[in-house]
Structure 1
């Protein structure tokens, strides 16, 4: 019996280094960045590898210009993943929705799929799940473990410049959106790839593109836009939720600020977590989109995003691309945590959620 206890203690001690120890390391798991270049060598590749190894980032985001070929992508992803603990795999993410929103294309040797709208119009949900499982397995084979989808925005505004225009919504019927969103999640889950419902609280009714500036949904938003989020959460099919830079007057007034949902504790901690019962990982939409950068300073956006309830802070790293960005974010987070114990607890909670989610990724 004593030998068993001793062995358990030794095992626990050996296991500890695989997890973050300091608050700074825990905060590092909250940071996901984009990068420059498309080769498995050079300044950016090696810089991202060092950031991952040092625990300064918890994930990376691919954009289309990061893809030279599927073989190069596979080499890059394997190299980065090789330097992090198996208990805390790097989240290697991509937007591979189908249709117009694909980073991997036929031109680089990756078979494309149809848009959400075309999928819903041409096949039933069971066939869609098979399609998305196949997509997930092909992504996993290249080393991706996150696909930022499904889009569960309801197609309320058929003239929407960023959702309807590109066929990104499955339907104007929230139940159809739910069914096909479930197919997307289940298919990827079977392939070992995490997904994120987007864009809470619903981008389908907007008349503006939040990439460019404020998307005010106060007058256009409909209660039905909650339905897919609510149902997929209740079905345990919400691994992550991505919150959009969508302004709604009711959120802002309740919090006495002018923040969009992505920076609003009313939207995230109030409606999404308490109201809809979501206990998983919340990821911000890109914090370098115009809706944020045109209205808020870097420090305000970062701290507000954490206080609102975001667990992962997503930066495309495209405005002023730099490998110093994670340190810049970390310095802000730790400085605020040292000043405010409640903020430090927010980092701890986010870290716990991220660790729990990463624990589902087999290595």
Structure 2
């Protein structure tokens, strides 16, 4: 008999007060904005216990896996069950990058069914892609995951690109074909109850450099056509999240003396994504421990700038200098800023509302 089933019986009999996803405090709301990586591969590991406790206390609303967290599928399922049971009335996002090809966290080495790269999938039809990604999502759901960081909708515009083209992560260079295949990815995941995140806004496919390594300026390279897959999928109501990359474009961010990456820029998130493209869903950053961020901003500055720019979920892989308490520290910074600044508190409340709406829409909330 599961803990959730026992709890439901107790609630029905009036033996427990029903917890609610409705926020009771700024702490509740801020915690949902935090997603972190962790160390460990089993329930007994200190890092796994740390994120479970942070979920339980409401300090974080999401956890992300890396390949180093996967020792066996049995252990993965056990961790994911523990994460959900830590706060069953408001389960966390449990996320990973499982694009296919070289970008995957679950592999055949642990018995998971691998799929081809996006470039290979693009040789088939959207219906075939929907079948491939539907099967992938069903396997992910079976392991307890509820969010896959994909599809990649970057256009394959630069054959020498070090992070998209190099790993065959793009469906192609034609925005209509990319949009159709990305829609198949999303629909396949939705059929299994798994949320998705379009990436890497506003487009990393034309860049010469890798934002993992440091500052990336796309001013002379980026093309407006790179927004078209976002526009098409937003118009089709197929976007759960948009993941924003750490890319600078002086043409869009006119007068930005700080040369902020898109992930910290209201010009991109507010003016382009929200106002121009009409996206009112969840905005998540790419990993905020990439070189493009860590080389220029400290933790406090990163958090405040991202939230003020319109970000809803702050993603930290927790790999640069591993800290089991990182999620709690990020949450504390959010709470302190919200208590000091009503405008910041309002932004936190807006993000919380979007996150809860998404968790309900994909069935994560019970």
Residue 80 (structure 1) aligned to one of 59, 80, 83 = 83
Please state whether the residue corresponding to 1:216 is helix, strand or coil: coil
Q: 1:185 to 1:215 in 2, by over 3 A?
A: same
Q: Secondary structure at the match of 1:215?
A: coil
Post-superposition shift, 1:45?
Answer: 1.6
1:61 aligns with 2:64: yes
2:92 equivalent in structure 1? 90
User: Is the Cα contact below 8 Å between 2:36 and 2:63 reproduced in 1?
Assistant: yes
Which aligned pairs between 1:153-232 and structure 2 lie closer than 5 A? 153-232=154-233
Q: TM-score, normalised by structure 1?
A: 0.94
**Does the alignment pair 1:313 with 2:317?**
no
| CA root-mean-square deviation | 1.5
Q: Counterparts of 2:83 and 2:219 in 1: how far apart (Å)?
A: 42
Counterparts of 1:210 and 1:48, CA distance in 2: 27
Give the alignment's TM-score, normalised by structure 2.
0.93
Q: Give the number of equivalent residue pairs.
A: 351
- For 1:353 and 1:168, locate their aligned partners in 2 and report how far apart those are by CA, in whole Å: 28
1:25: how far off?
1.6
Paired with 2:208 and 2:114, the residues of 1 have a C-alpha distance of 28
* 1:326 alignment counterpart: 327
Contact 1:255 1:265 in 2 (8 A): no
DSSP-derived class of the 1:82 partner: helix
SS in 1 for 2:253: helix
CA displacement 1:69-125 (0-9 Å, x = unmatched): 111101110111112133x2210000000000000001011011000001002x100
The SS at the match of 1:328 is helix
Provide the C-alpha distance between the structure 2 equivalents of 1:26 and 1:239, rounded to a whole number of angstroms: 19
The answer on 1:107 being equivalent to 2:147 is no
Q: Distance in 2 between matches of 1:144 and 1:201?
A: 26
Aligned 8 A contact 2:337 2:344 in 1: yes
The corresponding residue for 1:44 is 47
**CA–CA separation in structure 2 for the residues paired with 1:267 and 1:294:** 21
- SS in structure 2 of the partner of residue 156 of structure 1: coil
Counterpart in the other structure of 2:246: 245
**Shift in Å, 1:16:** 5.1
**How far is the alpha carbon of 1:42 from its aligned partner?**
2.4
* CA–CA separation in structure 2 for the residues paired with 1:76 and 1:338: 34
Displacement, 1:18? Answer: 4.3
| Counterparts of 1:296 and 1:337, CA distance in 2 | 20
Looking at structure 2, the residues matched to 230 and 223 of structure 1 have their Cα atoms a distance apart, in angstroms, of: 11
Work out which of the residue numbers 120, 140, 143 in structure 1 matches 2:122: 120
Cα drift, residue 48 of structure 1:
1.2
Gapped regions of structure 1 (runs ≥ 5): 1-10
Cα distance in 2 for residues equivalent to 1:342 and 1:254? 23
Deviations 1:8-61 (CA, angstroms, capped at 9, x unpaired) = xxx9x9445444311012100000000001112221121111111000000000
